[in-house]
Amino acid sequence: MSPSGLRASPAWQALARHWQALNGTTLRQLFDARPDRGTRMVAEGAGLYLDYSKNLATGETLRLLQALARSRGVFARRDAMFRGDRINETERRAVLHVALRAPRNERIVVDGKDVVPEVHEVLDRMAAFSDKVRSGAWRGHSGKPIRNVISIGIGGSDLGPVMAYEALKHYSRRDMTFRFVSNVDPTDFAEATRDLDAEETLFVVCSKTFTTLETLTNAHAARDWCLHKLGGDEAAVAKHFVAVSTNAEEVGKFGIDTANMFGFWDWVGGRYSMDSAIGLSTMLAIGPDRFRDMLAGFHAMDVHFRRTPADRNLPVLLGLLAVWYNDFFGAQTVAVLPYAQYLKRFPAYLQQLTMESNGKHVTLSGGRVDYPTGPVYWGEPGTNGQHSFYQLIHQGTRLIPCDFIGFMRSLNPLGDQHDLLMANLIAQTEALAFGKTPAQVRAEGTPEWLVPHRVCEGNRPTNTILAENLTPHSLGALVALYEHSVFTQGAIWNIDSFDQWGVELGKQLASKVIPQLRDPMDPEPDHDSSTNALIRRYRAARTARSG
Ligand code: G6Q
């Protein structure tokens, strides 16, 4: 029996039997049996439309998956999250990103304290600051208005802001430059600053802990760059640096006035923080009103997740189908394919959200799981991907469930190009589901020897997610959809979707190697032979360079 009893549970066993019975049934057969699938297996919420009919699943599959969710306490756990319970058990923290988008009149109590007023106090301070910068009232050290914003952060303190800036560029101040520095590779900082005037540049240093090596290193580089360009007067720091953090003490030590600090709380996980003050660069780009529209989109999906019955609940359906493929079909990955160029960083953002959350091998009680947990998420915008990796999805040997994301309207209408974009999205989901039979290939006059090569089996499952338009609101709803889908999956697997001990390990590892690389007199390093040889090789090159 598995540590959590998941495999042995009646709900899981019923699904296993159902999978046996269904295995081999094609999507063609499923659509023939129920021709109305395309209008029946759909759900709507928070402005998003989900068509899940092209999945290797029947109404019975969905009923059994919902029964599994109930038996695993998914809905009780969801309610516990919204209530502010400490459901991040290994860090003993509440998980309250939903409070970041709660309306002013809502009450969410953590340790006897309603956190919603604090959330709005920070939002109001962010808005006042953004207005000052955007209007030109906030001046740099030499009196010039700010025209460039560089957000420095990494992981959860970077991927959300980058994705949101790219996604909402259409709504952003085009006369301002927004850049993001994350990598400790000095190239990232050098390229971000090379053509900018320090007098017009504001750095937003984003770090929940304010101790992260990459971010602190880049923030020091930015400080040096700024002071060097502005004549060395330390007073410049107050005009060109603001911080977003939970750690006021470290912010103060760095030299940023804590009056220029925007806080958040330990109940906001890094990868769930783009709608906290970590989104300050987003607000500077699109303005406070649109930022609030984005929060409203998040909140609309929160309400939908909380209140809608499971059979019409978008994140629940998406999460359950992900479990279905991951655990019963053995699918190892999920492709996310936005047909929107503005969403080009969305798959990278989702990779962190999904894989850092559900890449876990022990249950909440510490036993090793005996079922697969979080799949690998990846993707690229369509139609570009169609000309490369889609080949493997259509005709390879692996099952890769795909999420297609599209919009009814273009933000940049140009002739009939948007029709072409959406025609491709729709045609791909059709081709993946139904393929091309030998008879169809032969009917095209294909010579017999070529027929097997041109046959597409179909049966490749897809979800289609549509929204009217890419707006701050729809982006918020889309991100919250995936946040809650991740939650649903993690609750079924009984894992802690909100810790990240593997990432923490990464934060510690380099600290031992750093001095060993730098000190040529250091005795033989004490690692394995491969690591020792790599250190010696780099050290020799470094010594040769400096000598
Ligand atoms: C997010 C992760 C991780 C984190 C970064 C940055 O959930 O824990 O990606 O966001 O390591 O951490 P700081 O914000 O503390 O610098």
| Nearest partner of 399 among 432, 359, 353, judged by Cα | 432
Ligand 1 atom with the shortest distance to the CA of 209: 15
Q: What pLDDT, on a 0 to 100 scale, did the predictor assign at position 522?
A: 72
Say if residue 467's pLDDT is above 60.
yes
Say if residue 430's pLDDT is above 70.
yes
Centre of ligand 1 to C-alpha 524, Å, is 33
Cα separation of 115 and 82, whole Å?
12
Say if residue 3's pLDDT is above 70.
no
Cα separation of 267 and 120, whole Å?
16
| Nearest partner of 282 among 300, 302, 269, 297, judged by Cα | 297
Q: What pLDDT, on a 0 to 100 scale, did the predictor assign at position 73?
A: 98
Backbone dihedral angles phi then psi of residue 539, each to the nearest 5 degrees = -65, -40
Ligand 1 atom with the shortest distance to the CA of 155: 9
Centre of ligand 1 to C-alpha 202, Å, is 22
Strand partners, 376: 333
Mutate to test the pocket of ligand 1, among 180, 212, 218, 272 (most ligand atoms within 8 A of CB): 212
Cα separation of 96 and 68, whole Å?
25
Query: Are the C-beta atoms of residues 492 and 374 closer than 8 Å to each other?
Result: no
**Residue minimizing CA distance to atom 11 of ligand 1:** 155
Q: List, for residues 19-53, the tens digit of each pLDDT value.
A: 999 999 999 999 999 999 999 999 999 999 999 99
Say if residue 322's pLDDT is above 60.
yes
Overall average pLDDT of the 104-129 stretch: 96
Overall average pLDDT of the 107-119 stretch: 95
Ligand 1 atom with the shortest distance to the CA of 500: 8
**Residue minimizing CA distance to atom 8 of ligand 1:** 270
Overall average pLDDT of the 352-358 stretch: 98
Q: List, for residues 475-526, the tens digit of each pLDDT value.
A: 999 999 999 999 999 999 999 999 999 998 988 888 889 999 988 777 788 8
Just list the catalytic residues. 356, 387, 507
Question: Could you give the C-alpha distances from 283 to 286, 340, 362, in angstroms and in order?
Answer: 5, 22, 38
Ligand 1 atom with the shortest distance to the CA of 272: 7
Q: What pLDDT, on a 0 to 100 scale, did the predictor assign at position 4?
A: 62
Residue 118: HSE in the Cβ half-sphere, 13 Å Cα cutoff: 15
Query: Are the C-beta atoms of residues 108 and 309 closer than 8 Å to each other?
Result: no
Query: Are the C-beta atoms of residues 2 and 370 closer than 8 Å to each other?
Result: yes
Q: List, for residues 512-542, the tens digit of each pLDDT value.
A: 899 999 887 777 888 999 999 999 999 999 9
Centre of ligand 1 to C-alpha 43, Å, is 34
Centre of ligand 1 to C-alpha 489, Å, is 22
Centre of ligand 1 to C-alpha 425, Å, is 34
Say if residue 2's pLDDT is above 60.
no
Which residue ranges have their beta carbon within 6 Å of ligand 1? 154-157, 207-209, 212, 215, 269-271, 356, 500, 503
Mutate to test the pocket of ligand 1, among 500, 501, 508 (most ligand atoms within 8 A of CB): 500
| Nearest partner of 318 among 483, 78, 498, 496, judged by Cα | 483
Cα separation of 256 and 251, whole Å?
6
Q: What pLDDT, on a 0 to 100 scale, did the predictor assign at position 438?
A: 97
Cα separation of 159 and 99, whole Å?
20
Rg (CA), the chain: 25
Centre of ligand 1 to C-alpha 344, Å, is 22
Ligand 1 atom with the shortest distance to the CA of 206: 14
Ligand 1 atom with the shortest distance to the CA of 271: 7
Query: What stretch of H or E contains 180?
Result: strand 177-181
| Nearest partner of 271 among 197, 357, 340, judged by Cα | 357
Query: What stretch of H or E contains 150?
Result: strand 148-152
Overall average pLDDT of the 400-415 stretch: 98
Overall average pLDDT of the 226-239 stretch: 95
Mutate to test the pocket of ligand 1, among 95, 97, 154, 180 (most ligand atoms within 8 A of CB): 154
Q: What pLDDT, on a 0 to 100 scale, did the predictor assign at position 26?
A: 97
Supply the mean pLDDT for the chain.
Answer: 96
Centre of ligand 1 to C-alpha 122, Å, is 20
Say if residue 64's pLDDT is above 70.
yes
Token pair recorded at residue 396: 């390879």
- Is the Cα dihedral 131, 258, 252, 499 positive or negative? negative
**pLDDT: is 257 or 280 the higher one?**
280
Overall average pLDDT of the 411-432 stretch: 98
Question: Could you give the C-alpha distances from 439 to 395, 452, 455, 468, in angstroms and in order?
Answer: 17, 11, 9, 38
Burial degree of 466 (CB within 10 A; 0-12, 13-18, 19+): buried
Q: List, for residues 437-450, the tens digit of each pLDDT value.
A: 999 999 999 999 99
> Which residues are CB-contacts of 206 (< 8 A; sequence separation ≥ 6)?
151, 152, 153, 157, 158, 161, 215, 243, 244, 245, 278, 280, 281
| Nearest partner of 404 among 462, 354, 461, judged by Cα | 462
- Is the Cα dihedral 89, 263, 122, 145 positive or negative? negative
Q: What pLDDT, on a 0 to 100 scale, did the predictor assign at position 523?
A: 75
Strand partners, 465: 50, 405
Query: Are the C-beta atoms of residues 12 and 268 closer than 8 Å to each other?
Result: no
> Which residues are CB-contacts of 182 (< 8 A; sequence separation ≥ 6)?
152, 153, 154, 155, 158, 162, 188, 214, 215, 218
Q: What pLDDT, on a 0 to 100 scale, did the predictor assign at position 546?
A: 80
445 phi-psi bin (left φ>0, alpha ψ -120 to 50, beta other): left
Ligand 1 atom with the shortest distance to the CA of 278: 14
**Residue minimizing CA distance to atom 10 of ligand 1:** 156
| Nearest partner of 47 among 467, 472, 475, 479, judged by Cα | 467
Query: What stretch of H or E contains 42?
Result: strand 42-45
Query: Are the C-beta atoms of residues 36 and 30 closer than 8 Å to each other?
Result: no
Say if residue 347's pLDDT is above 70.
yes
**Residue minimizing CA distance to atom 16 of ligand 1:** 207
Centre of ligand 1 to C-alpha 156, Å, is 5
Mutate to test the pocket of ligand 1, among 183, 205, 503, 509 (most ligand atoms within 8 A of CB): 503
Q: What pLDDT, on a 0 to 100 scale, did the predictor assign at position 350?
A: 98
Q: How far is CA 309 from the centre of its chain?
A: 25
Centre of ligand 1 to C-alpha 157, Å, is 6
Centre of ligand 1 to C-alpha 502, Å, is 12
Say if residue 389's pLDDT is above 50.
yes
Say if residue 435's pLDDT is above 60.
yes
Mutate to test the pocket of ligand 1, among 163, 182, 208 (most ligand atoms within 8 A of CB): 208
Ligand 1 atom with the shortest distance to the CA of 215: 16
93 DSSP 8-state letter? B
Query: Residue 1 — very low, low, confident or very high, per pLDDT cuts 50/70/90?
Result: very low
Centre of ligand 1 to C-alpha 327, Å, is 29
Say which residue the tokens 């990232």 belong to: 188
